[in-house]
Amino acid sequence: MCWAGDVPFLAGIDEAGYGPLLGPLVVSATLWRIERRDVQSDLWAELSECVRRKPGRGDGRIAVDDSKKVFDRKKGIATLERSVLAFASAAGLTCASLRELLSSLGADPTAWPAEAPWYHDLDQPLPLDRSGSAYEGIRRRLDACMKKRGVVCCRVATEVVTAGAYNRRVNATRNKATVLLEQVLRLIDRLARSCGESNLHVVVDRLGGRSNYRGALRDAFPDRHLQIVEQSPARSRYRLTSQRGELRVDFVVDADQKHLPVALASMFSKYVREALMARFNEYWRRRVPTLRPTAGYYSDARRFLEDIRPSAAEAGIALERFVRAR
Distance CA 321, CA 326 (A): 13
Mean pLDDT calculated for residue range 307-326:
92
CB of 227 closer than 8 Å to CB of 238: yes
What pLDDT sits at residue 82?
95
What pLDDT sits at residue 2?
43
Mean pLDDT calculated for residue range 136-162:
95
Residue type, 87: F
Distance CA 129, CA 84 (A): 13
Mean pLDDT calculated for residue range 253-257:
96
**Dihedral angle computed from the Cα positions of residues 226, 231, 235 and 238, in that order, rounded to the nearest 10 degrees:** -10
What pLDDT sits at residue 84?
98
What pLDDT sits at residue 3?
38
Of 18-22, 95-99, 131-135, 281-285, the least confident: 131-135
Q: Given the DSSP bridges, would you call strands 9-16 and 25-34 parallel, antiparallel or unpaired?
A: antiparallel
- Determine the distance from the C-alpha atom of residue 236 to the mean position of all C-alpha atoms in its chain, rounded to a whole number: 21
Mean pLDDT calculated for residue range 3-17:
79
Query: Closest by alpha carbon to 14, among 261, 199, 280, 307?
Result: 261
The reply to whether omega before 261 is within 30° of 0 (cis) is no
Distance CA 116, CA 62 (A): 34
Residues 76-122: pLDDT tens digits?
A: 999 999 999 999 999 999 999 999 999 999 998 888 878 899 999 99
What pLDDT sits at residue 37?
59
Q: How confident is the prediction for the chain on average, in pLDDT?
A: 92
Distance CA 104, CA 110 (A): 13
Query: Looking at the predicted structure, is the pLDDT value of residue 139 above 50?
Result: yes
Residues 64-73: pLDDT tens digits?
A: 999 999 999 9
Query: Looking at the predicted structure, is the pLDDT value of residue 283 above 90?
Result: yes
204 φ/ψ angles, rounded to the nearest 5 degrees: -115, 135
Query: Closest by alpha carbon to 48, among 260, 258, 202?
Result: 260
Q: Which helix (H) or strand (E) holds 45?
A: helix 43-46
CB of 28 closer than 8 Å to CB of 265: yes
What pLDDT sits at residue 86?
97
Residue type, 175: N
Residues 11-58: pLDDT tens digits?
A: 999 999 999 999 999 999 999 998 765 556 789 999 999 999 987 777
Residue type, 169: R
What pLDDT sits at residue 113?
73
Q: Taking the CA atoms of the chain, what radius of gyration do you get in angstroms?
A: 20
Please count the other Cβ atoms lying within 10 Å of the Cβ belonging to residue 174: 8
Question: Comparing 297 with 39, which gets the higher pLDDT?
Answer: 297
Distance CA 309, CA 319 (A): 9
Query: Percent of the chain beyond pLDDT 70?
Result: 96
Distance CA 39, CA 92 (A): 22
Distance CA 307, CA 290 (A): 9
Query: Closest by alpha carbon to 309, among 293, 287, 324, 326?
Result: 287
What domains, with CATH codes, occur in the chain? 9-321 (3.30.420.10)
DSSP 291: P
